[in-house]
């Protein structure tokens, strides 16, 4: 008698993506937009563009 193959997390993930393609694209889009906003806020408000002396004095 053959053993039943157990469904892995990857199998469930692939199945969910096939069943919900619009939601998957929405999740990826929102994640990318959030990453761009976080990077923009970091560069704008962190002082990363300041002089080298100011940055070195932070450490």
Q: Look at residue 3 in the predicted model and tell me its pLDDT.
A: 73
Over residues 26-35, the mean pLDDT reads 97
Calpha distance 31→23 (Å, rounded): 12
Phi, psi of 47 (to 5 degrees): 80, 15
**pTM of the complete model:** 0.61
pLDDT higher than threshold 70 for residue 2: no
pLDDT higher than threshold 70 for residue 55: no
The first and second tokens of residue 11, run together, are 């199998």
């Amino acid at each position: 008698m053959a053993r039943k193959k157990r469904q892995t997390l990857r199998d469930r993930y692939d199945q969910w993506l096939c069943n919900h393609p619009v939601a998957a694209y929405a999740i990826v889009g929102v994640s990318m937009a959030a990453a761009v906003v976080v990077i923009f806020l970091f560069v704008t408000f962190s002082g990363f563009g300041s002089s080298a002396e100011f940055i070195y004095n932070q450490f």
